[in-house]
Structure 1
Amino acid sequence: MYIGEQIINPTAERLRLSSQLGATHVVIDTRPNEQLKGDDGAWDAKKVAAQRQWIEGFGLKLDVLALDVGSILLDSLYKTEAAARTVERLRKDIRAAADGGVTTLKYNLQMVGITRTGFAEGRGGVRCSAFRAADYSPEKDASFSYWGVGHPGGGAHGADISVNALGTAEAVGQVLGTQSGGVTEQQGWHAISCFLEAVLPTAEAAGVRLAGHPHDPAYPPGGLNGVNHVVGSLDGMRRFINLAPESTAHGFNFCQGTIAEMSREPTKVVLEAIKEFGPRGKIFMVHFRNIKGGYLDFAECFPDEGSVDMPACIRAYRDLGYTGILCPDHVPVSELDPARERFFAFALGYTKGLIQSA
């Protein structure tokens, strides 16, 4: 296994920094990725290859691209013609990625934003994105959630990270629960099943792996604003994989932080998930991050200070023979590091140290 960075719209300077920090691989999380699109709105294989070759020029390997699934999950429930159009575009994107030399694509299962209710103060006064179900309101959701590639700390203190993107193209189809029309458990599984049935055959034929990110965060029983997060538990993760258990294209963007949020015993649930899905070959990439707290009440934090035993996780990956990427994700924000480059540098160094010690 190895460290890497997940970056949105990287500049040459940012890729140089990644290389200088010891990262060997990158994940490009740009959504919508306009620079890859051809005249028909789908990715162009030559443009994918050009981006990959550009990144390789910095001594890095492009491991993963983000597949912009847009609002296809909600659309499959309420706007079936729009969902069908998105399916055709996604099939083209998958084939173009393969032809351009990229064989892993990640995607987000969110139908609504990555729900947060505020900030918690962390060490030295940093601000840590937090979710406390007891404090939930649609107003806090709109202000503090992650919308697509937007970050709730974006736009503050001169940050160059993406601003809270609700209502923009960068929200990639995510909406407030009150705007969604509602998603029952049955509808949630129907939407995900329709998506997988539509894209997995294309991915399998192209030799591309599709890494799905679990629902972040786990919602309380009955959901929030009429929306259920069906892949917000270990049982939900099992059911998700078992929708196509034999498919070589079907697996996880294995977000440790999100999985930790599913339980009041974060280390236990993360280790259980690693040991269950790792041997099945279903961990395609890892978001190596930590939280303080657990189910329905947590704050994001630096990787060394949270509730998850990160050295134990590294040993678990080692023992099962995981050979893929570990990406820092969701570090805190501060006016002292508005682009979070130093905070991500710390997380990379911490992760590399754990790998070496294991």
Structure 2
Amino acid sequence: MYISEQLLNPDERRLRLSTQLGVEHVVLDNRGTELVSATGGVSAWDVVKLRDYRRWIEGFGLKLDVFALDVGSILLDSLVDIDGARRQLAVLKDNVKKAADAGIDCLKYNVQMVGITRTALKPGRGGARNSSFVYAEYKAEDDRQHSYWGVGYPSNQEEGGSASAALCGQKMARDVPPVTEQAGWDAIEFLVEGLIPAADAAGVRMACHPHDPAYPVGGLNGIEHVVGSADGLRRFLALSSSPRHGLNFCQGTVAEMFKEPALHMIPVIEEFASTGRIFMVHFRNIRGGYLDFQEVFPDEGDVDMFQAIQAYRRGGYAGPLCPDHVPVSELDEGRERFMSFALGYTRGLLQAAAARPA
């Protein structure tokens, strides 16, 4: 295992900072930029631009581990406009091949049909603020203020809001028709059955991020989060036997699926690591659990992060650990210092784990 920094459309200054922090691997998300998107939704990639971009990254001495694939609104569209969804799928399959041609062998994607639901920020240590989801406090009319979309980290929510939602093809729950459990699985199966054969042909691993957060039984605003439980993750992996069908295992999101994450996460991590189908890890921590949690610094959450690393090792995982979703503060507007702390903390845990048997 090793640290890999997750960056959103970094410039030269940001990449130089990463190398100065000792980062040697990166996971990149360029959704909503000229490199991979047009005005929003699914758009065709330019293999020459993509290859040149990878080489530019490598010029800093960095290895590009994973690149983000924006699936746009294909999941919802597959339920109401199957012909349109098939056209989008054809573009996505071609983008998978172009990624391989550009020298990229792993893509991450998200099966969120609506924005990543959050409620108000909570006070954190030293005046920092923690993103939270407290179901008892949830109001649909506050989605635009507190929830966010998958192009970055929540910041209440400069990286979210309607503009970012349009770029990602994601919507607020109250803007879409109901999605039952069966419809949720139908949409995901449509995507997996289309993408994975293309990934097999291209030799590209596909890392899927689970639903964030786990929704209450019966859904929220008529939307079911079917990959919002450990059983949902198991069923998702069972959709294809391909070794290229796997997970962007978000440790924080999986922890949100349990009322007592401290009791459940270590065996769950080892279980999924042993499948060989975790392709990258979002290495973050939460305080609280199912339907009532805050995203906190990695050292102050309920999951023992050292034991988590040991569990990944016992399961045979040897890939990237990406710090993710740190708190927000006016003292660190770009969260570079907070992410640097998370990187250093993770590196220290890895060094400590290397000195002790799993």
TM range (shorter): over 0.9
TM-score normalised over the length of structure 2: 0.94
Which is further off, 266-275 or 126-135?
266-275
Partner of 2:194: 198
- Of 228, 235, 247, 1:232 maps to 228
Whether 1:79 aligns to 2:77 is: no
Q: Retained in 1: the 8 A contact 2:272–2:315? A: no
Question: For the aligned residues, what is the CA RMSD?
Answer: 1.6
Query: Residue type of the partner of 2:310?
Result: R
Corresponding position of 1:18:
18
Measure the CA separation in 1 of the matches of 2:66 and 2:92.
15
On the 8 A contact 1:2/1:24 being kept in 2, the answer is no
1:341 corresponds in structure 2 to 336
2:86 matches 1:90: no
Mapped to 2, the partners of 1:299 and 1:37 lie a distance apart of 32
| Preserved CA contact (<8 Å) 2:271 2:315 | no
Per-residue deviation, 1:273: 2.4
Paired amino acid for 2:24: T
Classify 1:314/1:152 alpha carbon distance in 2 versus 1 (closer, same or farther; 3 Å): closer
Aligned to 1:209: 205
Instruction: Tell me, yes or no, if structure 1 residue 28 matches structure 2 residue 24.
Output: no
Q: Distance in 1 between matches of 2:102 and 2:60?
A: 18
1:284 equivalent in structure 2: 279
Question: Does the residue aligned with 2:301 lie in a helix, a strand or coil?
Answer: coil
Question: What amino acid is the match of 2:35?
Answer: Q
Note the 1:5-154 alignment, pairs <5 A.
Answer: 5-36=5-36, 41-149=43-151, 151-153=153-155
Return the offset for 1:33. 4.3
CA distance in 1, matches of 2:257, 2:137: 18
Are residues 336 and 168 of structure 1, via their aligned partners in 2, closer, same or farther at CA, if it must alter by over 3 Å? closer
Q: Deviations over 1:121-151 (max 9, x none)?
A: 1000101100000111112222111123154
TM-score by length of 1: 0.94
Does the Cα contact within 8 Å between 2:149 and 2:164 map onto a contact in 1?
Answer: no
Secondary structure of the 2:162 match is: coil
CA contact (8 A) 2:145 2:161 kept: no
Q: Distance in 1 between matches of 2:311 and 2:214?
A: 23
The code of the aligned residue for 1:351 comes to: T
Runs ≥4 in structure 1, deviation > 4 angstroms? Answer: 167-171
Contact 1:116/1:140 (CA < 8 Å) preserved in 2? no
Q: Deviations over 1:169-224 (max 9, x none)?
A: 65411111111101100000000000011111000000000000000000001110
Matched residues in 1 for 2:284 and 2:33: separation? 25
Q: Residues of 1 paired with 2:33 and 2:204: CA distance?
A: 18
**CA shift for structure 1 position 45:** 1.8
Identify which of 234, 239, 243 aligns with 2:239. 243
Counterpart of 1:76 in 2: which secondary structure? helix
Matched length: 350
* CA shift for structure 1 position 48: 1.5
Whether contact under 8 Å (1:145, 1:151) holds in the other structure is no
Q: Does the aligned pair in 2 maintain the 1:148–1:170 contact within 8 Å?
A: no
Distance 2:52 2:3 in 1: 23
Q: Which residue matches 1:3?
A: 3
- Structure 2: which 5+ runs fail to align? 354-358
Find the counterpart in structure 2 of residue 322 from structure 1.
Answer: 317
Return the match for 2:219 from 213, 217, 223: 223
Could you give the per-residue CA deviations for residues 287-333 of structure 1, whole angstroms, max 9, x where no partner exists? 00000100000000000000111010011112223211000111011
Shift of 1:73: 0.5
Counterpart of 1:75 in 2: which secondary structure? helix
8 Å Cα contact 2:165/2:171 also seen in 1: no
Aligned residue number for residue 356 of structure 2: none
What's the % identity of the aligned pairs?
59
Distance 1:65 1:33, change over 3 A: farther
Query: Deviations along 1:74-97, whole A, 9 cap, x unmatched?
Result: 010112222112101101110010
Q: Verify: 1:303 aligned to 2:305, yes or no.
A: no
